């Protein structure tokens, strides 16, 4: 019982006999596998690019939200500091006016009353200096906060630039993928 080449499928018969037909089919199979492997590698690059792009966009959105929050906080802090400073200045002005009135009354009265009025005026002046020191400290704090906010803004801008660079890399990878898929 023998097996003849006529009873085998054509591919098996060609493989057994060798020759040109088998070599061509084998070369075509190798080329088709290489094309498949290249397409699979390009697909993997594209998926990584899409993932990197999504990450970059998320980071950019986070940075934008943090910048908006920082600006809003800075505006609130500055507005609060200005309101406190204005109130302190109004209070100091009112106290100064009261001290002047007391000084005029003290001038018209006896030297003893003048001495008491001077003591009161000194207390008011001390309070005004203390309040001015508070205003200066608040202004210094507001300036430090503004500097901190500027630093945060610089860091956020750097993060945005990094995100833009990742976006550019992702765009380049997408273009390469499209070129590979088109070619």
Q: What is the pLDDT of residue 52?
A: 78
- Residue range 10-38, pLDDT digits in tens: 666 666 666 676 677 778 878 888 988 88
Percent residues over pLDDT 70 in the chain: 84
Give 174's Cβ-side CA count (13 Å radius). 11
Q: What is the pLDDT of residue 167?
A: 92
| Mean local confidence (pLDDT), 107-135 | 79
| Mean local confidence (pLDDT), 97-125 | 76
CATH of 5-182, one of 3.10.350, 1.10.260, 1.10.287, 1.25.40: 1.10.287
Mean model confidence pLDDT for the chain: 80
- Residue range 48-57, pLDDT digits in tens: 787 777 788 8
107: Cβ contacts below 8 Å, ≥ 6 apart: 114
Give 176's Cβ-side CA count (13 Å radius). 17
Residue 170, Cβ neighbours under 10 Å: how many?
A: 20
Domain residue spans in the chain?
A: 5-182
Q: What is the pLDDT of residue 46?
A: 75
* Cα–Cα distance, 10 to 14 (Å, whole number): 6
The pLDDT of residue 2 is above 60: no
Confidence of residue 61 (pLDDT cuts 50, 70, 90): confident
Structure tokens at 2: 């023998």
Q: Are 71 and 146 in contact (CB under 8 A)?
A: no
Q: What is the pLDDT of residue 17?
A: 65
| Mean local confidence (pLDDT), 83-91 | 84
Q: What is the pLDDT of residue 1?
A: 47
């Amino acid at each position: 019982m023998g097996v003849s080449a006529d009873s085998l499928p054509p591919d098996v018969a060609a493989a057994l006999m060798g020759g040109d037909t088998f070599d061509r089919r084998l070369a075509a199979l190798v080329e088709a596998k290489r094309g498949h492997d290249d397409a699979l590698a390009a697909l993997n690059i594209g998926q990584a690019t899409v993932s990197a792009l999504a990450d970059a966009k998320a980071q950019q959105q986070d940075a934008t939200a943090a910048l908006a929050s920082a600006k809003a906080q800075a505006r609130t802090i500055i507005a609060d500091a200005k309101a406190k400073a204005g109130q302190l200045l109004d209070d100091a002005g009112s106290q100064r006016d009261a001290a002047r009135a007391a000084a005029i009354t003290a001038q018209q009265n006896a030297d003893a009353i003048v001495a008491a009025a001077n003591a009161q005026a000194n207390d008011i002046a001390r309070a005004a200096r203390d309040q001015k020191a508070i205003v200066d400290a608040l202004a210094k704090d507001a300036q430090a906060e503004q500097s901190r906010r500027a630093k945060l803004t610089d860091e956020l801008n750097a993060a945005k630039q990094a995100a833009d660079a990742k976006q550019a890399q992702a765009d380049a990878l997408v273009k390469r993928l499209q070129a590979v898929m088109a070619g």
